[in-house]
Amino acid sequence: MNIDKPDEVTTCWVQLYSDGLYSWALHKTSNKETAEDLVQETFLVAVKSAEQFRGDSNPKTWLFSILNNKINDHFRKSYRNPVISDDAIIDLIFDETEHWKESQKPQPWLTEQSNLFDDAEFQAEWQKCLQRLPAHWNAAVQLKFIDEKKSEEVCQELAITDTNFWQILHRAKLQLRKCLELNWFKK
């Protein structure tokens, strides 16, 4: 690979690393289009700053570092620009006295499986339910439970207070439970 020819280098990197970058982005975002966009943005940044890459590290490490920054930016942006209001979703679940609406009360989950996450169909439904959450709720759930980050780290990354974080998680869990009840357990 000739470092003096950036087009050849970029083409080589795309061929070598795009699948791995895409898999990581998809794992982190649970959205095909978002993952594709983030990988594309990663390569754009790499092309623009190729002269800064001196080859001291593996190109794969450098590209994944760029991608992780893009993923974090995506979650921050999603959090700051919610598509649906928290209050609108809460109004669907609770009445004006802040009690469960009768039709929305959680139902017991009866299943013969000891670990539902071993079931590929359940995992697919779980991903759909995650995608239905408002973006900032999804980001909080992903960072806390999928990435297993400490609460303080999540609050810092999303620029929210501890109280707001726990409120978001509570609401997200309620929404995920309802989604799974409707789309998985009532099959």
Domains of the chain, by residue range, sit at: 6-80, 86-185
List the chain pLDDT tens, one digit each, 187 residues. 444 555 677 788 888 888 999 998 888 888 888 889 999 999 888 888 877 776 777 888 888 888 998 988 888 777 665 555 556 666 766 777 767 677 766 666 655 556 777 778 888 888 889 888 888 888 999 899 888 999 999 999 888 888 889 889 988 888 888 888 888 776 5
Would the CATH topology of 6-80 be identical to that of 86-185?
A: no
The answer to whether domain 6-80 has CATH 3.30.70.260 is no
Q: What is the pTM of this model?
A: 0.47
Q: In the numeric block, which tokens belong to residue 186?
A: 């009532």
CATH number attached to the domain at 86-185:
1.10.10.10
Q: Tell me whether residue 79 is exposed, middle or buried, using C-beta atoms within 10 angstroms of its C-beta: 0 to 12, 13 to 18, 19 or more.
A: buried
- CB 134 within 8 Å of CB 84: yes
Alpha-carbon distances, residue 167 vs 33, 44, 47, 70 (angstroms): 29, 37, 41, 26
